[in-house]
Copies of this chain bind each other. A is one copy, B any other.
Amino acid sequence: MKINRNFDNLVPNYLFADVARKTAEYAAANPDKKIIRLGIGDVTLPLAPVVVEAMKQGAEELAHKETFKGYPEYEGYDFLREAISGYYKSFGVSVSPDEIFVSDGAKSDCGNIGDIFSQDNTVLVTDPVYPVYVDSNIMAGRKIIYTACNEQNGFSAMPDESVKADIIFLCSPNNPTGAAFTFGQLKAWVDYANKNDAVILYDAAYEAFITEDLPRSIYAIEGARTCAIELCSLSKTAGFTGTRCGYTVIPKELERDGHNLYATWYRRQATKFNGVSYPVQCAAAAVFSEEGQRQIRENIAYYQENARIIASALDELGIYYTGGKNSPYIWLKCPNGMGSWEFFDLLLKEANVVGTPGEGFGENGAGYFRLTSFGDRESTVEAVERIKKLLS
């Protein structure tokens, strides 16, 4: 019995473990200090009331023979796919319900979608990068190439015509940098993909945080339907990190290598997946109701205000950053040429604030640092005051 040897090529990433250890050590040595965590990548506000009510109603239906639900459709219930299609329409994007696959979260689809692609493809990711794109392709034995995001390109890398990539992972608004593509930037990637017969896997998990006139879906770009798969999630949009629901869009006309990608993915899901829990699909559909949108918008606005508070402080301090406006993440340049971990130690010890060293997300993250807006208001305000006092 042979193990998949590609697992041996995975590089252990101790980023969050090291952050936790250093924080715990400092806390133990300084029990009187109040440490504020702005490194948190998980939501903290509760689900919207209308969402919880829908989940309970869904559960109640399972309690009675007349309304009981067995195996769901692999691609999700019609009512939810209709609701998601309507959501796209609300910001001017046309996605048909029969191009949508409901999933237990974008991470699952992001990893599993690789099943439909040959091992013999070159995968392009940005640096810094969300580690799942890299690790899932290392497991599959694919060649991975990196394109640099940095201050010069505002952490939004553009395609390089001299580079040949088959599968391209893009995330906008980006985790960890918070940078969001403009229409023009994203059009350049779509054109590159169509010209090079590549497929873009577009992670739109943070689209709900966009406030400016920027694309909330890759299908807002002409030509995207013949080159792009979009992965999205309710995790950050509606606080579903513990509830688990996402969706993937594959336009019906997306073909590669003689295969229709929708049909190929359907075959994969029919074999290795049995659909999403009915009460969870009910909860997800409630997110897209009028009342649901109003309620989740309150939570998003709360996080957005946290982000604005952090960003304003950096503006005052004259520190370069991306994100904050269209993203729950703020990606800042460590002041005075400090390294990521050097700045981490300084913030922890002198301001008792915890963030995430950028180099954990890739080489180009060295000298950068990620703060998030998922904390509570009072703590965020206090953390910002401490940072301002320390750095001004």
Q: Which residues of A contact B (CB under 8 A)?
A: 1-5, 7, 10, 42-47, 49, 52, 55-56, 59-60, 62-65, 68-72, 104-105, 107-108, 110-112, 115-121, 131-132, 135-136, 139, 166-167, 197-199, 239, 241-245, 256-259, 264, 267-268, 271-280, 283
Nearest opposing residue in chain B for A107, CB measure: B274
Bound: A120/B273 CA distance, A: 24
Bound: A345/B213 CA distance, A: 62
Assess whether B280 is in contact with A277, with CB atoms less than 8 Å apart.
yes
Known: A42-B71, A62-B52. A111 touches B271 (CB 8 A): yes
Bound: A136/B166 CA distance, A: 24
Known: A56-B56, A244-B276. A64 touches B42 (CB 8 A): no
Q: Chain B residues near A117: list those with CB within 8 A.
A: 1-4
Known: A272-B108, A276-B244, A277-B243. A2 touches B69 (CB 8 A): no
Known: A56-B59, A65-B44, A72-B242. A112 touches B272 (CB 8 A): yes
Known: A45-B65, A59-B52. A197 touches B274 (CB 8 A): no
Nearest opposing residue in chain B for A52, CB measure: B63
Bound: A43/B119 CA distance, A: 39
Assess whether A63 is in contact with B44, with CB atoms less than 8 Å apart.
no
Bound: A111/B275 CA distance, A: 14
In this complex, which of A5, A116, A136, A279 has the most chain B Cβ atoms within 10 angstroms of its Cβ? Answer: A279
Known: A118-B2, A277-B244. A44 touches B68 (CB 8 A): yes
Can you list 23 residue pairs at the A/B interface with Cβ under 8 Å? A1-B167, A2-B166, A3-B116, A3-B118, A3-B257, A4-B119, A10-B267, A42-B71, A44-B68, A46-B62, A47-B62, A56-B56, A104-B104, A104-B276, A108-B274, A110-B272, A111-B272, A135-B271, A139-B268, A139-B271, A243-B278, A279-B279, A280-B280
Copy count, this protein chain: 2
Bound: A272/B130 CA distance, A: 12
Assess whether B1 is in contact with A242, with CB atoms less than 8 Å apart.
no
Q: Chain B residues near A280: list those with CB within 8 A.
A: 277, 279-280
Q: Chain B residues near A258: list those with CB within 8 A.
A: 3
Assess whether B62 is in contact with A107, with CB atoms less than 8 Å apart.
no
Q: Chain B residues near A276: list those with CB within 8 A.
A: 104, 244
Assess whether A56 is in contact with B60, with CB atoms less than 8 Å apart.
yes
Known: A56-B59, A267-B10. A71 touches B4 (CB 8 A): no
Nearest opposing residue in chain B for A68, CB measure: B46
Assess whether A272 is in contact with B241, with CB atoms less than 8 Å apart.
no
Known: A4-B115, A139-B271, A272-B136. A69 touches B257 (CB 8 A): no
Known: A1-B257, A117-B4. A241 touches B70 (CB 8 A): yes
Assess whether A264 is in contact with B7, with CB atoms less than 8 Å apart.
yes
Which 5 pairs from chain A and chain B are nearest by CB? A111-B272, A2-B118, A42-B70, A69-B242, A52-B63
Q: Chain B residues near A132: list those with CB within 8 A.
A: 271-272
In this complex, which of A55, A116, A119, A131 has the most chain B Cβ atoms within 10 angstroms of its Cβ? Answer: A55
Assess whether B2 is in contact with A242, with CB atoms less than 8 Å apart.
no
Assess whether A278 is in contact with B4, with CB atoms less than 8 Å apart.
no
Nearest opposing residue in chain B for A108, CB measure: B273
- Which residue from B5, B60, B70, B118 sits with its C-beta under 8 Å from A242? B70
- Which residue from B68, B115, B273 sits with its C-beta under 8 Å from A45? B68
Q: Chain B residues near A120: list those with CB within 8 A.
A: 2
Assess whether A55 is in contact with B279, with CB atoms less than 8 Å apart.
yes
Q: Chain B residues near A1: list those with CB within 8 A.
A: 117, 121, 166-167, 197-199, 256-257
